[in-house]
Amino acid sequence: MTTVLRVPGIAYGGDYNPEQWPEDVWIEDMRLMREAGVTMVSVGVFSWALLEPAEGRYDFSRMDRILDLLHDNGIAADLATPTAAPPAWFFRAYPEALPVDRDGRTLWPGSRQTFCPSNPAYRSAALRIAGALGERYADHPALAMWHVHNEYGCHNAACYCDTSAAAFRTWLRTRYDDDLRTLNQAWGPPFGASGTTRGRRSCRPAPRAPTPIPCTAWTGGASAPTNCSRCTPPNATCCAASPRTFPPPPTSWSCATSTPSTIGAGLPEWTSSPTTTT
């Protein structure tokens, strides 16, 4: 009968990512971990591309060998769902799952956490790979714990894509009892000429008109200083010659209209009666 590993007391170990080096090194890894008194390691945190090299096609052979080797050496496994690092094929198939920053720029893959956590395609794919791992390894004798995802909200806590904007509008309708007047009263945007009259207009932060920062050193004349030590920050090109701008505060929300966009296209509108402001 195969012995199921148990970790008495506090486990000692860390992340183990042997996919990053040749397999003939793994035996030496085991020897060194036993020598150091390691009792448990987390594995598979960023292995999605290796576990699912193409959509719906799984390859567990490498993970089988890793878990078997750990068990044979008395080291328990904290098996991770690899959902923090979707493969390249996923983004080729579902580019709409890429995250969008507050300025409306799509962020491209190449590192972990480059996805919109609200995107339906990502959520479905993450559920499938997690389910496949569970079915295969639930009874593996090395398995002591499940490591669910990785660093929630670390790199992509905020996304401003259309999917996220629609979810935000849904939240607003619940928060303000489906009443735009209540929303406008709570936020006070009519004073700043940004009152919301339709639900699709409440979606995400976006750049506004620039606000020049005056140069306190320039008193006028035909030529403005271009390397002003009294400007903020020091030694920056003087705003009198080249105005500097600052981004809007993060609590100011509206849809971007300065560049072509599909924000709100095809999404259900908030049909409450519009608010009239003067």
- Report the pLDDT value the prediction gives residue 268, as an integer from 0 to 100: 38
- Report the pLDDT value the prediction gives residue 234, as an integer from 0 to 100: 47
- Report the pLDDT value the prediction gives residue 189, as an integer from 0 to 100: 59
- Report the pLDDT value the prediction gives residue 111, as an integer from 0 to 100: 81
- Report the pLDDT value the prediction gives residue 206, as an integer from 0 to 100: 55
- Report the pLDDT value the prediction gives residue 263, as an integer from 0 to 100: 33
pLDDT in tens, the chain (278 residues): 466 777 778 999 999 999 999 999 999 999 999 999 999 999 999 999 999 999 999 999 999 999 999 999 999 999 999 999 999 999 999 999 999 998 889 988 888 888 999 999 999 999 999 999 999 999 999 999 999 999 888 888 889 999 999 988 889 899 998 888 888 888 775 555 445 555 545 555 555 444 444 444 444 444 444 444 444 444 444 444 444 333 333 333 333 333 333 333 333 344 333 333 33
- Report the pLDDT value the prediction gives residue 50, as an integer from 0 to 100: 96
Six-digit token string for 148: 């669910």
- Report the pLDDT value the prediction gives residue 205, as an integer from 0 to 100: 57
Alpha-carbon distance 246 to 212, whole Å? Answer: 8
Map out the domains of the chain with their CATH numbers: 13-147 (3.20.20.80), 162-201 (no CATH), 207-250 (no CATH)
